[in-house]
Amino acid sequence: MIAMAQYTQDKEQLTQQKAKRFNLWLGMIGMFMVFAALSSGFIVYTQGGIDKGIKTILPDAFIYSTALIVVSSITMYLAQKAAKEMAFGRQKGLLAVTIALGIGFFMMQVHAWGILADRGVVFVNSNASQSFIYIFTGMHLAHIVAGIVVLVRALIGRIRNIPQVSNVFRMGLASLFWHFLGILWIYIYVFLLLNQN
């Protein structure tokens, strides 16, 4: 009887974990919608006249930041694998590397803003297509900050030695979110590249 009760309760908890994970998927749809709206706003605005448009070649710094975030996705994947294999030292190390790469990505984006501003492509601009570059990257960076918080939380959980089920669960959520942020950046970058002239 007790075993049966425990079985149903475990099942209930498992369902709830699945539902929480699903919440993240839905959240990602919501986040994507923000960028979809910005993309359509950009298109509508840019088609408003021939004087509109990005009208500059995007700085190489964006290529480097893309490389950073792709590598960070790989280290995140490895960290999650380590967590599943209960190789906790490796998990901690890889998580720390991922966080460092995330911070590197952040700094590289800010560096790219500097390059653009030096060229005269500034945020306050009568050609708002150029302002949109800052909006896209800035909104994405706001999400990156949230992503880093999630990663740090997973790391703290590991350091505090939380139960393995929770550890794997947190790592699952963190890596799903982090991969999403990488893919989101690639979407934004490709969108801007296609519109850069």
What is the contact surface with other proteins in residues (CB under 8 A)?
5-6, 8-10, 12-13, 15-16, 18-20, 22-23, 26-27, 29-38, 40-41, 44-45, 48-49, 51-52, 123-128, 131, 135, 139, 161-167
Nearer to other proteins, 75 or 129 (CB): 129
Nearer to other proteins, 86 or 186 (CB): 86
Burial (0-12, 13-18, 19+ Cβ within 10 Å), 183: middle
**First vs last Cα of the chain: how many Å apart?**
70
Query: What minimum distance in Å lies between the beta carbon of 71 and other proteins?
Result: 29
Please list the helix, strand and coil fractions of the chain in percent, rounded to the nearest 5, in that order: 85, 0, 15
Nearer to other proteins, 32 or 64 (CB): 32
Nearer to other proteins, 49 or 114 (CB): 49
CA angle 124, 128, 133 (to 5 degrees): 85
> Cβ distance 195 to 42 under 8 Å?
yes
Nearer to other proteins, 107 or 122 (CB): 122
Query: What minimum distance in Å lies between the beta carbon of 11 and other proteins?
Result: 10
Query: What minimum distance in Å lies between the beta carbon of 121 and other proteins?
Result: 13
> Cβ distance 69 to 185 under 8 Å?
yes
d(CA 185, CA 55): 21
DSSP state of 89: H
Query: What minimum distance in Å lies between the beta carbon of 38 and other proteins?
Result: 5
Q: Which residues neighbour 168 within 8 Å (Cβ) at sequence distance 6 or greater?
A: 83, 84
Query: What minimum distance in Å lies between the beta carbon of 165 and other proteins?
Result: 4
